[in-house]
Protein backbone atom coordinates (compact mmCIF):
# COMPACT_ATOMS: atom_id res chain seq x y z
CA UNK A 1 0.00 0.00 0.00
CA UNK A 2 1.57 3.25 -1.18
CA UNK A 3 1.38 5.73 1.71
CA UNK A 4 2.87 8.58 -0.33
CA UNK A 5 1.57 8.99 -3.85
CA UNK A 6 2.73 11.07 -6.77
CA UNK A 7 0.09 10.41 -9.38
CA UNK A 8 1.77 12.27 -12.22
CA UNK A 9 4.76 10.31 -13.53
CA UNK A 10 5.79 13.24 -15.71
CA UNK A 11 5.19 16.95 -16.28
CA UNK A 12 6.31 19.24 -19.10
CA UNK A 13 6.48 23.01 -18.63
CA UNK A 14 7.76 25.94 -20.65
CA UNK A 15 10.74 27.87 -19.33
CA UNK A 16 9.62 30.85 -17.25
CA UNK A 17 6.25 29.36 -16.38
CA UNK A 18 5.16 27.79 -13.09
CA UNK A 19 5.73 24.09 -12.39
CA UNK A 20 3.37 22.47 -9.89
CA UNK A 21 4.20 19.01 -8.60
CA UNK A 22 1.66 17.23 -6.45
CA UNK A 23 1.86 14.65 -3.70
CA UNK A 24 -0.84 12.90 -1.65
CA UNK A 25 -0.44 10.88 1.51
CA UNK A 26 -2.69 8.52 3.39
CA UNK A 27 -1.16 8.29 6.86
CA UNK A 28 -2.50 11.04 9.13
CA UNK A 29 0.44 10.45 11.51
CA UNK A 30 2.86 11.96 8.99
CA UNK A 31 3.87 15.40 10.17
CA UNK A 32 7.02 16.25 8.26
CA UNK A 33 7.32 16.39 4.51
CA UNK A 34 10.25 16.84 2.18
CA UNK A 35 10.97 17.23 -1.51
CA UNK A 36 14.08 15.75 -3.07
CA UNK A 37 15.39 16.40 -6.58
CA UNK A 38 17.27 13.78 -8.58
CA UNK A 39 19.31 14.15 -11.74
CA UNK A 40 20.20 11.07 -13.83
CA UNK A 41 23.13 9.05 -12.49
CA UNK A 42 23.18 11.07 -9.25
CA UNK A 43 21.73 10.57 -5.80
CA UNK A 44 18.69 12.56 -4.62
CA UNK A 45 19.42 15.97 -3.11
CA UNK A 46 17.28 17.72 -0.53
CA UNK A 47 15.26 20.63 -1.91
CA UNK A 48 12.76 21.92 0.63
CA UNK A 49 10.71 20.69 3.59
CA UNK A 50 7.66 21.60 5.65
CA UNK A 51 6.39 20.54 9.03
CA UNK A 52 2.71 20.06 9.79
CA UNK A 53 2.55 23.19 11.94
CA UNK A 54 2.93 25.24 8.77
CA UNK A 55 0.94 25.41 5.56
CA UNK A 56 3.60 27.06 3.42
CA UNK A 57 7.37 27.19 3.22
CA UNK A 58 9.31 29.22 0.70
CA UNK A 59 12.92 29.09 -0.44
CA UNK A 60 13.75 31.26 -3.41
CA UNK A 61 11.92 29.95 -6.48
CA UNK A 62 10.59 26.94 -4.56
CA UNK A 63 7.48 26.93 -2.39
CA UNK A 64 5.85 23.96 -0.74
CA UNK A 65 2.19 24.09 0.28
CA UNK A 66 0.62 21.69 2.75
CA UNK A 67 -3.11 21.00 3.02
CA UNK A 68 -3.48 18.70 6.02
CA UNK A 69 -7.22 18.25 5.75
CA UNK A 70 -6.81 17.01 2.18
CA UNK A 71 -3.57 15.14 2.99
CA UNK A 72 -2.01 16.89 0.03
CA UNK A 73 1.14 18.84 -0.61
CA UNK A 74 2.47 20.57 -3.66
CA UNK A 75 5.77 22.02 -4.83
CA UNK A 76 5.68 25.20 -6.89
CA UNK A 77 8.67 26.28 -8.93
CA UNK A 78 8.50 29.84 -10.26
CA UNK A 79 9.92 30.65 -12.72
CA UNK A 80 10.87 27.25 -14.08
CA UNK A 81 14.31 26.90 -15.63
CA UNK A 82 15.76 24.18 -17.89
CA UNK A 83 18.14 23.22 -15.06
CA UNK A 84 15.10 22.27 -12.98
CA UNK A 85 14.52 19.29 -15.29
CA UNK A 86 14.87 16.29 -12.98
CA UNK A 87 12.87 13.69 -11.07
CA UNK A 88 11.21 15.10 -7.95
CA UNK A 89 10.44 12.84 -5.01
CA UNK A 90 8.03 13.68 -2.24
CA UNK A 91 8.79 12.07 1.15
CA UNK A 92 7.01 11.98 4.50
CA UNK A 93 7.74 10.98 8.07
CA UNK A 94 6.41 11.25 11.61
CA UNK A 95 8.28 13.88 13.64
CA UNK A 96 8.71 11.74 16.70
CA UNK A 97 12.45 11.26 16.55
CA UNK A 98 14.11 8.08 17.56
CA UNK A 99 15.19 5.05 15.60
CA UNK A 100 11.74 4.31 14.22
CA UNK A 101 11.40 7.62 12.43
CA UNK A 102 11.78 6.82 8.73
CA UNK A 103 11.20 8.53 5.43
CA UNK A 104 8.53 7.13 3.11
CA UNK A 105 9.08 8.20 -0.49
CA UNK A 106 6.67 8.68 -3.34
CA UNK A 107 7.31 7.24 -6.80
CA UNK A 108 8.61 10.49 -8.28
CA UNK A 109 7.58 12.93 -11.00
CA UNK A 110 9.83 13.64 -13.98
CA UNK A 111 9.79 17.36 -14.71
CA UNK A 112 10.90 18.55 -18.14
CA UNK A 113 11.33 22.30 -18.57
CA UNK A 114 11.34 23.20 -22.26
CA UNK A 115 13.48 26.18 -23.36
CA UNK B 1 34.42 16.88 2.09
CA UNK B 2 33.64 14.00 -0.24
CA UNK B 3 30.20 13.61 1.36
CA UNK B 4 28.73 10.15 0.80
CA UNK B 5 30.67 7.86 -1.51
CA UNK B 6 29.55 4.52 -2.92
CA UNK B 7 31.46 1.81 -4.74
CA UNK B 8 31.15 0.29 -7.24
CA UNK B 9 29.06 2.48 -9.58
CA UNK B 10 27.98 -0.50 -11.66
CA UNK B 11 27.96 -4.25 -11.01
CA UNK B 12 26.68 -7.30 -12.83
CA UNK B 13 26.22 -10.51 -10.84
CA UNK B 14 25.01 -13.98 -11.63
CA UNK B 15 22.22 -15.50 -9.57
CA UNK B 16 23.60 -16.94 -6.35
CA UNK B 17 26.75 -14.82 -6.22
CA UNK B 18 27.49 -12.67 -3.20
CA UNK B 19 28.87 -9.17 -3.04
CA UNK B 20 29.24 -6.14 -0.80
CA UNK B 21 28.20 -2.63 -1.76
CA UNK B 22 30.41 -0.12 -0.03
CA UNK B 23 29.27 3.18 1.49
CA UNK B 24 31.34 5.74 3.36
CA UNK B 25 30.70 9.24 4.66
CA UNK B 26 33.08 11.84 6.03
CA UNK B 27 30.56 14.13 7.73
CA UNK B 28 30.63 12.32 11.10
CA UNK B 29 26.93 11.50 10.72
CA UNK B 30 25.46 9.02 13.15
CA UNK B 31 22.54 7.93 10.99
CA UNK B 32 23.11 5.94 7.80
CA UNK B 33 20.70 4.04 5.61
CA UNK B 34 20.38 2.00 2.43
CA UNK B 35 17.60 2.43 -0.11
CA UNK B 36 16.76 0.76 -3.37
CA UNK B 37 15.08 2.51 -6.25
CA UNK B 38 12.95 0.56 -8.68
CA UNK B 39 10.81 1.87 -11.55
CA UNK B 40 7.39 2.92 -10.30
CA UNK B 41 8.34 2.20 -6.68
CA UNK B 42 10.21 5.26 -5.47
CA UNK B 43 12.95 4.73 -2.88
CA UNK B 44 12.42 2.00 -0.33
CA UNK B 45 14.40 1.64 2.89
CA UNK B 46 16.38 -1.62 3.19
CA UNK B 47 18.36 -1.23 6.43
CA UNK B 48 19.48 1.63 8.59
CA UNK B 49 21.86 2.38 11.45
CA UNK B 50 21.62 4.99 14.19
CA UNK B 51 25.26 4.65 15.16
CA UNK B 52 28.24 2.31 15.20
CA UNK B 53 27.21 -1.14 16.31
CA UNK B 54 23.47 -0.51 15.89
CA UNK B 55 21.47 -1.56 12.83
CA UNK B 56 17.82 -2.25 12.13
CA UNK B 57 15.55 -3.34 9.29
CA UNK B 58 13.65 -1.09 6.95
CA UNK B 59 10.77 -1.86 4.58
CA UNK B 60 12.51 -4.42 2.36
CA UNK B 61 15.34 -6.12 4.32
CA UNK B 62 15.09 -9.68 2.99
CA UNK B 63 18.18 -10.86 1.15
CA UNK B 64 20.43 -8.15 2.56
CA UNK B 65 22.74 -7.89 5.57
CA UNK B 66 24.42 -4.87 7.07
CA UNK B 67 26.89 -4.06 9.82
CA UNK B 68 28.24 -0.81 11.21
CA UNK B 69 31.64 -1.22 12.85
CA UNK B 70 32.66 2.43 12.38
CA UNK B 71 30.81 5.75 12.13
CA UNK B 72 32.12 6.25 8.59
CA UNK B 73 31.26 2.97 6.87
CA UNK B 74 28.00 1.11 6.28
CA UNK B 75 28.40 -1.79 3.82
CA UNK B 76 25.44 -3.67 2.37
CA UNK B 77 25.88 -7.39 1.70
CA UNK B 78 23.96 -9.51 -0.75
CA UNK B 79 24.52 -13.09 0.39
CA UNK B 80 22.98 -14.87 -2.61
CA UNK B 81 21.95 -12.49 -5.36
CA UNK B 82 18.59 -12.92 -7.09
CA UNK B 83 17.20 -11.22 -10.22
CA UNK B 84 14.65 -9.45 -7.98
CA UNK B 85 17.57 -7.55 -6.46
CA UNK B 86 18.33 -5.84 -9.76
CA UNK B 87 17.99 -2.20 -8.79
CA UNK B 88 19.77 1.06 -8.11
CA UNK B 89 21.04 1.23 -4.54
CA UNK B 90 21.53 4.48 -2.65
CA UNK B 91 23.29 5.01 0.63
CA UNK B 92 22.40 8.06 2.71
CA UNK B 93 23.63 9.68 5.90
CA UNK B 94 22.32 12.36 8.23
CA UNK B 95 23.15 13.94 11.55
CA UNK B 96 19.93 12.63 13.07
CA UNK B 97 17.22 10.63 11.36
CA UNK B 98 17.00 13.21 8.58
CA UNK B 99 13.34 13.81 9.30
CA UNK B 100 13.40 17.08 11.19
CA UNK B 101 14.02 20.74 10.48
CA UNK B 102 17.64 21.38 9.64
CA UNK B 103 18.47 17.70 9.52
CA UNK B 104 18.37 16.22 6.05
CA UNK B 105 19.67 13.04 4.50
CA UNK B 106 22.61 13.26 2.10
CA UNK B 107 22.64 10.61 -0.61
CA UNK B 108 25.50 8.97 -2.42
CA UNK B 109 25.59 8.70 -6.23
CA UNK B 110 24.21 5.17 -6.27
CA UNK B 111 25.24 1.69 -7.40
CA UNK B 112 23.44 0.18 -10.38
CA UNK B 113 23.23 -3.58 -9.84
CA UNK B 114 22.09 -6.13 -12.38
CA UNK B 115 21.56 -9.76 -11.38
CA UNK B 116 21.35 -12.19 -14.29
According to the model, what pLDDT value does residue B39 have? 85
Taking residues A89-108, report their average pLDDT.
75
List phi, psi (to 5°) of B20.
-120, 130
Residues with Cβ within 8 Å of B39's Cβ and at least 6 positions away in sequence, in order, are none
State the first-to-last Cα distance of chain B, in angstroms, to the nearest integer: 36
Taking residues A29-53, report their average pLDDT.
92
According to the model, what pLDDT value does residue A100 have? 47
Q: Mark yes or no for CB contact A43/B108 under 8 Å.
A: yes
According to the model, what pLDDT value does residue A98 have? 43
How would residue B49 be classed by pLDDT, with cut points 50, 70 and 90?
Answer: very high
B73/chain A closest Cα distance in angstroms? 18
Q: Which residues of B touch A97 (CB under 8 A)?
A: 96-97, 100
Between CA A81 and CA B3 the distance in angstroms is: 27
Q: Mark yes or no for CB contact A43/B109 under 8 Å.
A: yes
B74 touches chain A (CB under 8 A): no
Q: Which residue has the higher pLDDT, B96 or B82?
A: B82
Q: What does the buried/exposed string (b/e) look like for A2-21 if buried means 16 or more CB atoms within 10 Å of the residue's CB?
A: eebbbeeeebebeeeeebbb
Q: How many CB pairs under 8 A join A and B?
A: 65
- A17 has pLDDT over 90: yes
- B74 has pLDDT over 80: yes
Kindly give the pairing relationship between strand A4-5 and strand A10-14: unpaired
Between CA B50 and CA B71 the distance in angstroms is: 9
- B98 has pLDDT over 50: yes
Q: Which residues of A touch B98 (CB under 8 A)?
A: 103
List phi, psi (to 5°) of B63.
95, 0
Residue A34: count of CB within 10 angstroms of its CB: 23
Between CA A99 and CA B56 the distance in angstroms is: 9
Q: Which residues of B touch A44 (CB under 8 A)?
A: 43, 90, 107
B38/chain A closest Cα distance in angstroms? 9
Taking residues A46-72, report their average pLDDT.
95
- B16 has pLDDT over 80: yes
Amino acid sequence: DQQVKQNSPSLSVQEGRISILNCDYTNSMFDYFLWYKKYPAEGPTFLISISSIKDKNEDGRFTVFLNKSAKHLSLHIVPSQPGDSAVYFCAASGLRGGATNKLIFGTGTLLAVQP
Amino acid sequence: NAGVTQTPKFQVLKTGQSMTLQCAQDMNHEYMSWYRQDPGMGLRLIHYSVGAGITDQGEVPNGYNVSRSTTEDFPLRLLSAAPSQTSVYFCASSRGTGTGDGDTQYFGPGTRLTVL
